[in-house]
Every structure is written in C-alpha cells, then in structure tokens.
Structure 1
Amino acid sequence: MEMWDIYDSRGFKTGKIKKRTDILNSGEHHLATEVWIINDKSEILIQRRSSNREVLPNIWALTTGCMISGEDTLNGSIREVKEEIGISIKRDDLKFVRRIIRTDTIWDIYFVYKNVDLSKLILQAEEVSDVKLVSIEEFKDMLLLKKIFEYPEIYDVLSLIK
C-alpha cells in the first residue's frame, strides 16, 4: 500500500502519514510532481496516459506522479521518469519551475533539458501507451483542442521554456 506524507497548505509536513486511498481532510495535502522533458529544439516530450488509468485515460500529458512517504519531489521526479518512460535523470538535471497548490495536492513542476531518442524509451504499460515530441505551437494547439491535460497555470509554465 502506497503511503503519503501529509502537508499543510503552506507546504510543511504535518507529521501525519496516510494511505493513498484515504480521503484527505480539509487543509491536508500530498506532494506530486510534473516533469517537462525538453530537447534542444524546444520540443516537449509528452505521453499518452494508458486507457486503463482511472484518471484521464488516453489523454496526452506530461510525466507526473505522487510522492511516497519519505520522498521529496526531486527524488520522486527521478523515480517517476524512470518508471514511466525509462529515462534516467539526476537531481542536477531537474530545474525547479514553480509550485502549484490545487485542492489536496501540492505540485512541484520541473524542467529537464535533455535530448531523448523515443525509440529507446521503455514505457510502463500500466501508465503510458505512447510518447511523442511536440513543438511549443503543437502543444498549444493540443491544449486548444483539449487533447492534452490542461490546468490554469499551464500557459505560464509553457512561457518559461528557453
């Protein structure tokens, strides 16, 4: 059973640990990460969520995941990227972009500037059914067409790509 550390609305650990399946009380949050992998052409690696996912099946998204108890978002990002798409990254590869607090989740967003060969990726079938690289314009078009998961701050994050 996956366990989560519980944080308050300011991002501080409360000392509580809950099961992933537990309902969080008002003011309780858990940590999650979103990793944007960007190549030297400013193309973004996106992944299609598996059709068997409970949340957002078959939707294009970025590499995301929840942190397990004892894990910070740097280590969790490394783990999630390796598990979901088979890319090894290091802490120094992760560039913190921003923190977003939404409902019961504290999202830390990171950029990783790295060229990847899509043919060498190892997809975690339970999580990911496909991957592709898209330009910033293609990404924006996919957002407009509701083909990629959208959240209010995503355009701000997108504008930070160098």
Structure 2
Amino acid sequence: MKIEVVKTFDEQHKQIGTATREDVHKLGLWHEAFHCWLVEEVAGTAYIYLQIRSENKKDFPGLLDISAAGHLTADESAADGVRELKEELGLSVIYDDLVNLGIFTYNCVRPGFTDREFAHVHLYDLPISWDEFLLPNEEVSGIVKTKYQDFYDLWLDRVAAIHVEGFMFDAAGKRICIDKMALRNEFAPHDASFYISVLQKMEEHLLKKTNERRNFNESV
C-alpha cells in the first residue's frame, strides 16, 4: 500500500516540511486540501450537491459531505486537486472550469484525530445531470442535492432539517432513490463557522453571476 505524503505548514501557511497523512492527523499538523462544491441554478433557485460518504470510510462514514474533497499530496498544487472529482464522483472536469473561492482554514479536533487544513475551496457551477455521476466506489456511496438557501439556513440554526434528493447504492450494489428531510447530525460535523464562511463566499459568486446575466439581458 502506497503511503500518502503531504506538505506541512505553520499557522501562517509557510511550508515547514512533509509528513504522512496519518501523522498530520495524529500530530495535528497543518496541511493542504482541495474542496469543490457542485452548484446548479434551476429557474432562479440555486442547489448544492452533497456526497454521501461510503460506510467503509474511517471518518464520518455514511454522512453527507462536501461534493468532492481530498488531501493534496507533497507533489501536487491546488489545480491537481481536480482529480478528486473524477475519483469520487466520476466527473471529468478541467481545472479552468472551476471558480476559485480562496483558501479557508479548517480546524477540527476530536479525540485521537486532529484535522488542520488550508483548504483550497472551489466551485463548479456548470450544468450537470444525475447520469454523469459514476458511483459507487470506496469513497462515495451516493449523491444528493439540496437548495442552497436551505443548506445555509441549516448552519445558521434557522431550521432543524432540510430536504435532500438524489440516489445512493446499498451494500449489495442496489440503487436507491433518496427523497427525505435530513437532520443536521446527518452531515459531516465540520464547524458551522467553516460552512458559513464558504457559503458566504459562494453567495458572492452566485449574486455576481445573476447580476451579469441580468445586465446582459437588459442590454439585448
């Protein structure tokens, strides 16, 4: 089995060395990750796609999570992280099609596991269909979508549950449709402030895109 090595950093994002993936979590070392959120607009309403983590995952098995995410290895740049979309969701995407939302610090401390990341967060907002997702695999067992505003309200504690719809595969490989209300404890327990900061940046892009579209329509 190949040992995954990542770059390590101080709190100012200055590289200080390298370490194995296991050690960065055991020792609480800062490292880099790639995150990509899939978003689509339908009739003026924005939706976010969320993956369902495989039950075989060591961390947060079976929970809803960021569309696609993973560690950047020692020899990778943020652009190389686009491979996560292929590995986890089966989507062939080029980096130039992504919107770079910036680098967000992510700090999650649990007994025996500390995750301190400089997350390179991206957005993919081109049209996509359910048939494009190639699942399942050892990383992801399903995919759902929910309204952007509902997801935002969940982390602002305005609502206790939100509607999600999509599909997943059970242990026997049978495809199951999902159409339900999901509680907050069904989502990966990233800190609410992290979710909110990313969603705020995402909203800036969505509003800018809406205004550009409105201005274009008014000019023709």
**Which residue number corresponds to residue 49 of structure 1?**
53
**Equivalent residues of 2:37, 2:48 under 8 A apart:** yes
**Equivalent residues of 1:8, 1:29 under 8 A apart:** yes
Among residues 190, 199, 210, which one is paired with 1:158 in the alignment?
199
Q: Which runs of 4+ in 1 moved over 3 A?
A: 23-26, 140-144
Judging by fraction of residues, say which structure has more strand: 2
**Equivalent residues of 1:50, 1:128 under 8 A apart:** yes
**Which residue number corresponds to residue 148 of structure 1?**
187
**Equivalent residues of 2:103, 2:119 under 8 A apart:** yes
**Equivalent residues of 2:101, 2:122 under 8 A apart:** yes
- For 1:61, the aligned partner's letter is D
Distance 2:198 2:105 in 1: 14
**Equivalent residues of 1:31, 1:66 under 8 A apart:** yes
Distance 2:62 2:19 in 1: 29
TM-score (normalised: structure 2): 0.65
**Which residue number corresponds to residue 116 of structure 1?**
128
**Which residue number corresponds to residue 139 of structure 1?**
151
**Equivalent residues of 2:91, 2:133 under 8 A apart:** yes
Larger Rg: 2
- Structure 1 residues 62-120: Cα deviation after superposition (integer angstroms, max 9, x where no partner): 111111111112211x1111100011221212212132223422112111112111122
**Equivalent residues of 2:5, 2:20 under 8 A apart:** yes
| Alignment RMSD | 2.0
Among residues 12, 15, 21, which one is paired with 2:14 in the alignment?
12
**Which residue number corresponds to residue 97 of structure 1?**
101
Judging by fraction of residues, say which structure has more helix: 2
Distance 1:3 1:43 in 2: 35
**Structure 1 spans left out of the alignment, 5+ residues:** none
**Which residue number corresponds to residue 64 of structure 1?**
69
TM-score (normalised: structure 1): 0.86
**Which residue number corresponds to residue 21 of structure 1?**
22
Distance 2:136 2:198 in 1: 26
- For 1:7, the aligned partner's letter is F
Percent of pairs with identical residues: 23
**Structure 2 spans left out of the alignment, 5+ residues:** 108-115, 161-182, 207-220
- Structure 1 residues 25-77: Cα deviation after superposition (integer angstroms, max 9, x where no partner): 56x4110121111113321111100111111111101111111111112211x
Among residues 73, 96, 103, which one is paired with 2:78 in the alignment?
73
Cα gap change, 1:141 to 1:51, in 2 (>3 Å):
farther
Higher RCO structure, 1 or 2 (CA under 8 Å, sep 6+): 1
> Deviation of residue 138 (structure 1)?
3.7
**Which residue number corresponds to residue 89 of structure 2?**
85
